[in-house]
Structures are given as structure tokens and as C-alpha cells.
């Protein structure tokens, strides 16, 4: 499986040959360095650990701002210190993209869970509240886990599968994918070939 780490640049559009306009997201994937190679014999499975965004002042233990493991189907034919670039995605049609969604802060149930509003008449005390039914009064009581209540919204890991890869710019280290991808500009994006 081919994989690389990148940084979301933003969105733009591409005009196709038939004249249709395709909204695209641009990801900058500067060459990732292989920091470790895992083998079936030593670790139980083959994988590559890539480092992205080298630190200007590396410490004894940390040389990159981000590192990630990419599992392989067979043993790697690369060596530690080799670079992984966008060139390996030239033949790929679709990719799987993982990023952290934008944080939206503390949100109520209408925004967070798409609840409907209560009556707006003067006698009603239920406009934007979640309503009754927080938890059972029986033995044990308490609110069950996963109950839909107000709370922090966004900032979650989101994976988008089977995203069409529109283009690869080897000179500028860019991957161009169709549609929106999770995260704000500048956010870390993990890309793997489907």
C-alpha cells in the first residue's frame, strides 16, 4: 500500500476537457523520509514509518514534527533514509484521506445532533433545549454513554474513502483530489492509495 503524509493547502477548481468544473482540494506532500522499516520476521508485519515536516532544531529523539506508520502487503524494497514522494501516486486513481475535522467549540443539540426546535409560543419553555428523557430512574440510574447532549463539536478524526485523484504535480509536490477533505488549511493529512 502506498502512503504519504501531507499538509492541506486549500480548495480551488479544475476545468475538465468537456468544460465541466470540478471542485478540488490541494495537498502539499513534501518528500517523506523513511525513519524505520518493520518486517514480518522482526515485528510480525511489514510496514514503513514515515517522517514529515523536519524540525529546524532536531533533538536526540525527535527529528520530525509528524510521524506515521503505513502497513504494507509485502516486505519493503526501500531502505531507511529513503524518500517517499508524490511520484508514487502517478498510477493511482482513488485515495483514502484521513484528517482532523475543524473544531466548532461547544454546541447545542440542534447544531450538534440536528434536533428539531420546540414550540415557539409564549407559554412554551422548550425552544432549543434537548427535551426530557436524560436517563432512567430505575436502579442504577445515570445517563447512558453516547446519549445525544450538548458538548464539544468537531475536532474528530475523519476518513474519506475512494476519493478520486485528479492530478499529481511532481515539481511542486502536490496531490489534487476531487471535493472537500477534512480539516483546516495547514492541517495534517494522511493519504493512502485504495
Please state, rounded to an integer, the average pLDDT across all residues of the chain: 92
119-154 as b/e, with b when 16 or more CB fall inside 10 Å? eeeeeeeeeeebeeeeeeeeeeeeeeeeeeebeebe
Chain segment 118-176, per-residue pLDDT in tens: 899 988 888 998 887 777 777 777 888 889 999 999 999 999 999 999 999 999 999 99
Domains of the chain in sequence order: 3-103+157-193 (2.40.30.10)
Instruction: Please compute the mean of the pLDDT values over residues 27-40 and round it to a whole number.
Output: 94
Q: Which residues pair with 49 in a beta bridge?
A: 36, 69
Of all helices (H) and strands (E), which one includes residue 59? none
Q: Does 58 have pLDDT greater than 90?
A: no
Chain segment 3-23, per-residue pLDDT in tens: 999 999 999 999 988 999 999
Q: What is the pLDDT of residue 76?
A: 81
Instruction: Please compute the mean of the pLDDT values over residues 174-181 and round it to a whole number.
Output: 96
Q: Does 194 have pLDDT greater than 90?
A: no
Answer whether 169's CB lies under 8 Å from 15's CB: no
Output the CA torsion sign for 170, 4, 93, 102: negative
Measured in residues, the chain has a length of 194
Chain segment 72-89, per-residue pLDDT in tens: 988 888 889 899 999 999
Rounded Cα–Cα distance for residues 174 and 167 (Å): 8
* Cβ-Cβ contacts under 8 Å for 88 (sequence gap 6 or more): 2, 4
Rounded Cα–Cα distance for residues 48 and 3 (Å): 9
Of the candidates 133, 129, 112, 108, the residue with the CA atom closest to the CA atom of residue 120: 129
Q: What is the pLDDT of residue 1?
A: 63
Q: What is the pTM of this model?
A: 0.84
Instruction: Please compute the mean of the pLDDT values over residues 40-55 and round it to a whole number.
Output: 93
Rounded Cα–Cα distance for residues 162 and 169 (Å): 20
Q: What is the pLDDT of residue 143?
A: 84
Rounded Cα–Cα distance for residues 175 and 29 (Å): 7
Measured in degrees and rounded to the nearest 5, phi and psi for residue 152 equal -70, 135
Of the candidates 52, 65, 69, 61, the residue with the CA atom closest to the CA atom of residue 3: 69
Q: What is the pLDDT of residue 103?
A: 94
Rounded Cα–Cα distance for residues 188 and 68 (Å): 11
Rounded Cα–Cα distance for residues 53 and 65 (Å): 5
Q: Does 111 have pLDDT greater than 70?
A: yes
Instruction: Please compute the mean of the pLDDT values over residues 180-185 and round it to a whole number.
Output: 95
For 23-52, the three-class secondary structure string (H helix, E strand, C coil) is EEEEEECCCEEEEEEECHHHHCCCEEEEEE
Amino acid at each position: 500500500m502506498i502512503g504519504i503524509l501531507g499538509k492541506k493547502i486549500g480548495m480551488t477548481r479544475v476545468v475538465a476537457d468537456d468544460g465541466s468544473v470540478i471542485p478540488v482540494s490541494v495537498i502539499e506532500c513534501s518528500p517523506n523520509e523513511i525513519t524505520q522499516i518493520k518486517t514480518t520476521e522482526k515485528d510480525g508485519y511489514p510496514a514503513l514509518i514515515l517522517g514529515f515536516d523536519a524540525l529546524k532544531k532536531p533533538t536526540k529523539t525527535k527529528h520530525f514534527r509528524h510521524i506515521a506508520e503505513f502497513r504494507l502487503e509485502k516486505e519493503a524494497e526501500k531502505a531507511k533514509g529513503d524518500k517517499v514522494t508524490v511520484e508514487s501516486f502517478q498510477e493511482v486513481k482513488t485515495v483514502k484521506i484521513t484528517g482532523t475535522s475543524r473544531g466548532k467549540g461547544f454546541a447545542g443539540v440542534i447544531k450538534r445532533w440536528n434536533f428539531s426546535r420546540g414550540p415557539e409560543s409564549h407559554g412554551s419553555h422548550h425552544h432549543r433545549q434537548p427535551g426530557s428523557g436524560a436517563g432512567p430512574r430505575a436502579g442504577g440510574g445515570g445517563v447512558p454513554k453516547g446519549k445525544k447532549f450538548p458538548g464539544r463539536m468537531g475536532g474528530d478524526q475523519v476518513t474519506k474513502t475512494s476519493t478520486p485523484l485528479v492530478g499529481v504535480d511532481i515539481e511542486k509536490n502536490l496531490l489534487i483530489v476531487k471535493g472537500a477533505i477534512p480539516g483546516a488549511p495547514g492541517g495534517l493529512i494522511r493519504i493512502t492509495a485504495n
